[in-house]
Structure 1
Amino acid sequence: MPPAAAGEPSQSASSIVADTSRGYHILRIDNYSLTKAIPTGEFLRSRPFTVGRHRWFIKYYPNGYSSKVASYVSFFLILDRSVADSVVEVIAQYDLNFVDEVEEHLTLGEVCSFKSQLGWGFKAFVTRDELEESKNLKGDSFAVRCDIVVVNQFRAEDVEEEAVNSPVLVSVPPSNLHHYLGDLLLTEKGADVVFLVGAETFAAHRCVLAIRSPVFRAELFGTMKEGVTCTGVVRIDDMEPQVFKALLHFVYTDSLPEANEAEEEDVMSQHLIVAADRYNLERLKLICEQKLCRYIDLGTVATILTLAEQHQCHGLKKACLRFLRSSANLKPVIATDGFDHLSKSCPFVMMELLAILHSY
């Protein structure tokens, strides 16, 4: 780089990067049924292995790390010792999966600090019932893979002259467009269409709705325009006012409103999946799918599975079927009213459940 001319400030730049080491260890549990005799809180350990110049091992708890998770299998990754005795702690990311379920492009969890003979892990990795009913248990054995990325050190590197940035003299705040659009919905300023939902009305803006939803666009400007009355009122049937209100909030702000104490998140999420499917709002649909995965239990799984099948919620359906693979879950669910409705409305799902029953 030629020297700067007199009076001109010199320019240079550098970046801080992480020097990392990556590796994995596969732990195979043979004679799984025999390991179930080990009491809760006690563990078996893998052979030590090295990643990033540090020795590690895995703790396997066949009957859970503690009494609170006694029905689960637990795993923990432990830092055995460092090659350099002066190293007090090791910074690393990790993840642990069944060998057959490791994704090609694995995303590891948060960065953790490991100290010698201490570690992090999964207290509730999988229930024993789920494991024993799964394809991961083969011939009384299964295998898990622990992936680790160790941060060895941070270092500074020179950056090419083209990448030199001017000093930050202007700080640009994050976009707050969604706040302005939310205020526009709240104040109804400039609204040019009104929706009648039950006994309540909601004022909105045609252009905003049309940009966000192809169904709204057809309804307000296209082939379905005849559904709008001469007074600019659109009647919405088969939807609760509070559901449509939440739908509008998402359309304007790309987020859901905070739920009131009187509202049940799982019920609202089910209604919003139907509404999102109706108006082709795929992101809203996925948000609600994700929420409902947390509410799958013996009392709700049949209803949620019916909803998932009817509205093509593939991830939610997989979560329900995974829950039902355990005979301890499927057999009591069969006796519920929700299962009776599922059997009548979703025959293809019933075929999948029968296949699960026959595999017991």
Structure 2
Amino acid sequence: MGAASMETASRCSTEKEKGAHVFEISGYSLKKGMGVGKFVQSATFTVGGYDWSIRVYPDGLTAVTKEDVAFSLQFMSSNAEARAFYDLRLEPIVFNSRDVHLGRSRTRAVGCVPRSDLETSKYLDDDRLVVRCLVIVIKESLLTKTRVVCSEIDVPPSDITEHLAKLLEAKEQTDVTFCVGGETFEAHKILLAMRSPVFKAELYGQMKETNMQAVTIEDMQPAVFKALLHFIYTDSLPGLDDLEGDDKLEMIRHLLVAADRYAMDRLKLVCQSILGKNLDVENVSTTLALADQHNCDKLKDVCIEFIDSSDKMDAVVATQDYANLKRSCPSVLVDVLEKTSRFRKA
């Protein structure tokens, strides 16, 4: 399985607070003539933790705007700075700033309307002027903690073989019994048939035993059949810790024979691999004969390469097992000579 794909993620969110204030000036005409820069101011209102007010300049804010009526949003908080959006409106007239920073260097945002337009409009009703101000204060940005996003969900390794091993051990719902060397073993026909075409033929096909509840296995040791069943259920060899050296290899040889008998190719290859890794001068001839008898071509090649090595050939030929091989399987030695010749040419 490849490495999990990891990425981190974070999120920035911005808080805002909205508020509005309506400022009404009754007797607007009486405010005219106050002078440039003079203003009428609303009560202070608070939005976003800051103080604000609305100012109206009937004669304009400066000499440049003396023909206008000026309106401003005044930032009243001292020793503070704020960022805000605002609307100053005499609908449908809107004095709008999408982004204004107010503070020590700038304390107001201003909009103007020609005085002549205002005084002839319907917005000056009964000498009453109503100004509405909407303020949206942009507060601090919030950064959420970085989180780890894993695109791959951890999946534990398969445990089906553990369940199958427990099934074999518990002998639940077994439907066939094998008699091997005086010992009995209970198993499940369907599982055996699934794993071995030979068992399938014996248990379900035309070769099936007359008595399906008890099958006798000839020419096999109980320990070997037990190990065979373990592999059928778990696809692994049982622990062979109680066996050492030659005894352990002898068990593997018997298992190879059983694997060939029941056409279990994977078990056969597992046994060949173990035997090939444990060759020595004393056992290579026996292993070669076994490989020849059970059509283990890969194991035969490994044995021949071992025998052909310059520092082992003489020692192997001097063993009793080699003499037995020469007498009982002369055809194997012909293969050895032919293949060693090809190896040397290669």
Shorter chain as normaliser: what TM range? 0.5 to 0.7
Pick closer, same or farther for the CA change 1:318–1:15 going to 2, 3 Å. Answer: farther
Counterpart check, 1:182 vs 2:138: no
CA displacement at 1:357 relative to structure 2 = 8.5
| Cα deviations by residue, 1:283-317 (Å, 9 ceiling, x for unpaired) | 11111111111211110000000011111112211
Where structure 1 has 5 or more consecutive residues not aligned to the other structure, the ranges are 1-12, 17-165
Question: Compared with structure 1, are the counterparts of its residues 324 and 14 closer, same or farther at alpha carbon in structure 2 (3 Å cutoff)?
Answer: closer
Partner residue, 1:330: 313
1:304 partnered with 2:258: no
User: SS in structure 1 opposite 2:238?
Assistant: coil
The gaps in structure 2 that reach 5 residues or longer are 8-148
1:208 aligned partner, one-letter code: L
Pair member with larger Rg: 2
For 1:182-261, what aligned pairs fall within 5 Å after superposition? 182-225=165-208, 227-229=209-211, 232-261=213-242
In structure 1, how many angstroms separate the alpha carbons of the residues matched to 2:163 and 2:6? 36
**Contact 1:220–1:228 (8 Å) recurs in 2:** no
The aligned residue for residue 243 of structure 2 is 262
Q: Is the 8 A contact 2:6 2:150 kept in 1?
A: no
8 A Cα contact 2:191 2:233, kept in partner:
yes
SS in 2 for 1:210: helix
Residues of 2 paired with 1:280 and 1:15: CA distance?
Answer: 45
- Alpha-carbon contact 2:181-2:222 (below 8 Å) kept: yes
Note the C-alpha offset of 1:204.
0.1
| Aligned mates of 2:159, 2:5 — CA distance in 1 | 31
Q: Give, in whole Å, the separation in 2 of the partners of 1:283 and 1:266.
A: 18
Does the CA-based 8 Å contact 1:228-1:234 persist in structure 2? no
Aligned pair in 2 of structure 1 residues 174, 326: CA closer, same or farther (>3 Å)?
Answer: closer
Deviations 1:244-266 (A, max 9, x none): 00000000000011113235321
Cα gap change, 1:251 to 1:14, in 2 (>3 Å): closer
Q: Distance in 2 between matches of 1:334 and 1:186?
A: 46
SS of the aligned residue for 2:229 comes to helix
Which AA in structure 2 matches 1:196? Answer: C
Distance between the aligned counterparts of 1:315 and 1:169, measured in 2?
40
Deviations 1:209-244 (A, max 9, x none): 00000000000000211x3525x1110111110010
In structure 2, give the amino acid aligned to 1:326. S
C-alpha deviation, 1:346, in angstroms: 2.8
Instruction: Output the CA distance in 2 between the equivalents of 1:352 and 1:286.
Output: 21
Do the aligned residues in 2 keep the contact of 1:191 with 1:204 (CA within 8 Å)? Answer: yes
Secondary structure of the equivalent of 1:172? coil
Distance 1:246 1:14 in 2: 41
Q: How much has 1:203 moved relative to structure 2?
A: 0.2
CA distance in 2, matches of 1:301, 1:327: 15
- Whether contact under 8 Å (1:219, 1:228) holds in the other structure is no
Query: Which structure 2 residues correspond to residues 280-359 of structure 1 after superposition, within 5 A?
Result: 280-355=263-338, 356=340
SS at match of 1:328: coil
- Judged with a 3 Å threshold, the aligned counterparts in structure 2 of structure 1 residues 216 and 14 are, in CA distance, closer, same or farther, namely closer
Q: CA deviation at 1:168?
A: 5.6
Distance 1:332 1:168 in 2: 59
Any residues of structure 2 matched to 1:30-45 within 5 Å, and which?
none
CA contact (8 A) 2:5 2:152 kept: no
Deviation at 1:319, TM superposition (A): 1.0
Change (3 A) 1:277 1:222: same
TM (norm. structure 2) is: 0.52
**Aligned residues with identical type, % of pairs:** 46
The correspondence of residues 154-169 of structure 1 with structure 2, limited to 5 A, is none
